[in-house]
Amino acid sequence: MRYVILRDDDTNALTPVDCLETLYRPFLDRGLPVNLATIPEVRTRATTPDGQREGFLPREENPAVEKVPLAENRALVDYLQANRGYHIVQHGCHHDCFEFDRPDRNEVTRRLALGAQRLGEAGFGEVRAFVAPHDKFSAVAYEEAARRFPVISSGWFEWRRLPAAWRWRYLLKKLSGRPHWRVGESLLLSHPGCLLSHTRSLESILPAIQQAIHRQKVTVLVTHWWEYFRDGKPDAPFIRVLHDTAGYLATRHDLRVVAFGSLNAATATDAAPQGSAMNATVAAQR
Ligand SMILES: [Zn+2]
């Protein structure tokens, strides 16, 4: 059995319900879980590392409002609560640029706690995974996130950013060629880049996903809802690729689409003789 985790980044209090519904109804109707890396209290002027306005924000700025907690969008919260196929993942706190690439432990813990509080106020108190904005962590951010979350999902892990105590485990991971690893009680999952992106040729996306899934036991597929609605209009051909992906995932009997939070249980019940990649990784590190 192989496992796939779909991770959609950047849902926030300003995200229109219609966008998520358009993208994910085919997943929800097929019982495929969708992990939403959700910004707990979005900064309305958040920028990308190159200084552009973030694509998940409305095009029109509202200078009167600096930050918006998720709970303020009642329609969105009700929608997410009503559709249990959505699984909320904490995505930073305000989604400031490189928000968790900072050395100040107090500030890191303050943002982790405030983010958790804002998600809790929206009714999402049992969040089991963390995604840092722009996939960037400092060493103290890794430590503090691992203290709070059973799963950390990131694009990659850089030796020089890791806490010193983690580095030998990282070496073992590198030597074994495995994409995922574990420190203490936390699973550290990498992903093979944003395969579901409008910057790729559309016809190459599904084959790239199939290859990635074939290469490893557990694959995290990352996408961004707002990429399908650039300029305020739905990109129908790109949306079709996403829906074709749902069809593919639903019909393969050797694949199981899971939420981050159920990954341990899912891999533990994998009866394949060689064990899952995750179990093998854990065993190698004991
Ligand atoms: Zn993000």
Cα(10) to centroid(ligand 1), Å: 5
pLDDT at position 85, please? 97
Cα(65) to centroid(ligand 1), Å: 20
Class of residue 142 by CB neighbours under 10 A (exposed 0-12, middle 13-18, buried 19+): buried
Q: pLDDT tens digits, residue range 200-235?
A: 999 999 999 999 999 999 999 999 999 999 988 999
User: C-alpha angle with apex 186: 181 to 187, nearest 5 degrees?
Assistant: 35
Confidence of residue 279 (pLDDT cuts 50, 70, 90): very low
- CA dist 104 and 101 (Å) reads 9
pLDDT at position 267, please? 61
Cα(83) to centroid(ligand 1), Å: 22
Cα(134) to centroid(ligand 1), Å: 6
Residue 202: how many other CB atoms lie within 10 Å: 13
- CA 252, 257, 27, 228 torsion: positive or negative? negative
Cα(242) to centroid(ligand 1), Å: 19
pLDDT at position 269, please? 27
Cα(96) to centroid(ligand 1), Å: 9
- CA dist 145 and 220 (Å) reads 19
Go through 239-250 and write b for each residue having 16 or more CB atoms within 10 A of its CB, e for each that does not: eebbbebbeebe
DSSP annotation of 7: E
pLDDT of residue 40 exceeding 90, the answer is yes
Cα(241) to centroid(ligand 1), Å: 21
Cα(231) to centroid(ligand 1), Å: 18
Confidence of residue 283 (pLDDT cuts 50, 70, 90): very low
For the chain, the C-alpha Rg in angstroms (whole number) is 18
| Higher local confidence (pLDDT), 116 or 168 | 116
Confidence of residue 109 (pLDDT cuts 50, 70, 90): very high
Cα(128) to centroid(ligand 1), Å: 17
- CA dist 186 and 275 (Å) reads 19
CATH number of the 2-285 domain: 3.20.20.370
pLDDT of residue 62 exceeding 90, the answer is no
Over residues 72-81, the mean pLDDT reads 98
pTM here is 0.91
Check: CB of residue 146 under 8 Å from CB of residue 137.
Answer: no
Cα(11) to centroid(ligand 1), Å: 8
Cα(12) to centroid(ligand 1), Å: 10
Nearest to 218 by CA among 172, 258, 161: 258
Cα(132) to centroid(ligand 1), Å: 7
**Average pLDDT score over the chain:** 91
Cα(98) to centroid(ligand 1), Å: 10
- Both tokens of 146, joined, read 């691992």
Q: pLDDT tens digits, residue range 41-54?
A: 999 999 999 999 99
Cα(3) to centroid(ligand 1), Å: 23
pLDDT at position 274, please? 35
